[in-house]
Amino acid sequence: MLTNKLTLGQLPERPEPLWRGGLSLPIFNPLEDDCETDVAIVGGGITGITAAYLLSNAGKKVVLIDADRLLNGTTGHTTAKVTAQHDLIYDEFISHFGQSIARLYYEANMEAFNFIKNIIEEHNIDCDYSIEDAFLYATTDKYAKKLQQEWNAYQKLHIEGKLVTEIPFNIKIKNALVMNDQAQFHPLKYLSKLVTLLESNGVQIYEHTTAVDINEDGDRVRVITLNGKSITASQAICCSHFPFYEGTGFYFTRMYAERSYALAVKTEKDYPGGMYLSVDEPSRSLRSASYKGEKIIIIAGEKHKTGQGENTLEHYKALEGFGKDVVGINQVLYRWSTQDLTTLDKIPYVGEITRGKNRILVATGYRKWGMTNSTVAAMIIRDKILGTGNRYLELYQPSRFYIDPSLKNFFIENTDVVKHFLKGKLELPHKSLEQMENDEAIIIRVNGNRKGVYKDHYGKLHIVDTTCTHLGCEVNWNQGDRTWDCPCHGSRFSFNGAVIEGPAEKPLLKESFNMTDLLSEDKTGY
């Protein structure tokens, strides 16, 4: 349901991540001619760029494409914690998979941690990298018990850490779990250096080039782009957040999308160091960052399934209220949101898109821990293509299926999809179209069909058919980002219908009604 426009208070008018502010990134042309290469990589985030770096260093000819600008997707909207402390996960992994797999997951992410550290040192990358202890903290007895169980898991897995009863903030906690000597950095400064190294390695990079399909032809594959051009390669890698090509993997049934929110703020109180994440709901995350030579704080949290939240500006305001209470906010510099994909068992999918399809590889489902998991993915992909073997390959293999927890979660997530599919079809209008304000959106019915109307800052109407072009669910309005979001599988569209996030590949249908037509047709919306 849509709510009225909010007063933003201190919040910036439009969302923009801290990491892109003031950073000059190279610009690349779209692909305009067919080409051939050894490896075609689709997706210009941390996975694609790291994989291109590793493969080009190994002598492979690489073409890298992105539907938008490099680093403008999930990588550009992260909180950029480089850590193996991935919320409450190790006790759960021991319960479902056993200690060996849980330990292997930890080792994979620590190997990625060390890879990033070594790359920064080797190339002397100025990316605000700092070693920090990572904290999980609980404010309730229920989650204090869960932290105790996680601490027990740390001990079983020989993970260095400790259980403490205080953190250096005005937050009443029950206990906190520390993982020592983790890190944080500026992800785009780190990756922009890798992009320059790709160019020196001869990697061909194309922006504003949308991949829409893959055709297999013997020992070669052809990546087809929206403008009809193609990239012929021995192998193709799908690392475009949600796979633009699923084969018969049915990834939309095996992952769900969540949105979360972040503020970058100047504060009254000095930051005491460390990276913090609450395990209670709603979640709260804290870390420091550098802004024009001074230390600021990133406050994040407020997760919900994509397309299923209330007015998303409320999430920013909740983070702002938390920040005022805990650190004292002088100024909100940036606000942004991000989308994360979670698999059925919470381990990412990396490897053959379906078993036996070794020429098409995929990397997706990092949950909220993409800095290390993406680096693990790039190393697995490199080793898979080079045929050198990788000890983490089976752990991340997309075709794996653990009955516990995957079967239960499969039914939970897909039952939720059906619920929201029906809700969107049956929901009735209840708001007057004449009462629309500028910078507001409502849903109306025209000839019984659901339409979305956004009235921009200048009073111009932007009207779309709200039926998602993926599988026909009805999208909902996201006021905080001014997007139409699908509650079923996480597709997102701009206010005029253009695809922002998959799995949808086609835009929402634009409509050309004027206000007179709409008022004569149906006077109520919602």
- Provide the residue ranges of all domains of the chain, joining segments of one domain with +: 1-24+256-340, 31-78+188-253+345-401, 431-525
477 phi, psi to nearest 5 deg: -80, 135
* Tokens 């100024």 belong to residue: 331
Residue of higher predicted confidence among 44 and 309: 44
CA max distance for the chain:
69
Q: What is the mean pLDDT of residues 20-41?
A: 93
Q: Who has greater pLDDT, 290 or 434?
A: 290
Reply yes or no on whether the pLDDT at 303 is more than 90.
Answer: no
Question: DSSP 3-state assignment of 335?
Answer: strand
Q: So what's the pLDDT on residue 520?
A: 53
Q: In 239-325, at which residue ranges do the beta strands (DSSP E only) sit?
A: 255-267, 275-278, 284-291, 294-305
Two tokens at 226?
């929206």
Instruction: Work out the average pLDDT over 350-357.
Output: 90
Task: Name the DSSP letter for residue 467.
Answer: B
Q: What is the DSSP letter of 107?
A: H
Backbone angles phi, psi at 341, to 5 degrees: -110, 135
In this predicted structure, the answer to whether residue 525 has a pLDDT above a threshold of 80 is no
pLDDT at 7: 39
What CA–CA distance (Å, rounded) separates 400 from 63? 29
Question: Which is nearest to 81 in space by CA: 362, 284, 274, 279?
Answer: 274
**Residue 159 in contact with residue 169, Cβ under 8 Å?**
no
pLDDT digits (tens, 9 = 90+) for 394-442: 999 998 877 666 665 655 555 655 555 455 555 655 555 677 788 888 8
List the structure tokens of 12: 């910036």
HSE toward the beta carbon, residue 274, CA cutoff 13 A: 19
Q: What is the pLDDT of residue 4?
A: 32
Whole-structure pTM value: 0.85
Reading the block at residue 335, the tokens are: 């606000």
| Cα separations in angstroms, 410 against 96, 98, 350, 380 | 15, 21, 19, 26
Phi, psi for 381 (deg, rounded to 5): -65, -45
Q: What is the pLDDT of residue 309?
A: 62
Instruction: Provide the CATH number for the domain formed by 31-78+188-253+345-401 in this structure.
Output: 3.50.50.60
Q: How far apart are CA 159 and CA 261, in angstroms?
A: 29
Cβ-contact 171, 139 below 8 angstroms? yes
The C-alpha atoms of residue 484 and residue 466 are separated, in whole angstroms, by 8
User: Alpha-carbon distance 439 to 319, whole Å?
Assistant: 22
Tell me the mean pLDDT in the region 223-235.
96
Could you tell me what percent of the chain has a pLDDT over 90?
60
Average the pLDDT over each of 277-286, 345-354, 466-475 and give the range with the smallest value: 466-475
Residue 463 CB contacts under 8 Å (≥ 6 apart), including other chains: 451, 452, 453, 454, 510, 511, 512, 513, 518
Q: Please tell us whether the domain made up of 431-525 is placed in CATH 2.102.10.10.
A: yes
Task: Please give the Cα distance from 439 to 433 (Å, whole number).
Answer: 14
Give the C-alpha separation, 101 to 104, whole Å. 5
What CATH class has 1-24+256-340?
alpha beta
Handedness of CA 476, 481, 482, 483 (dihedral sign): negative
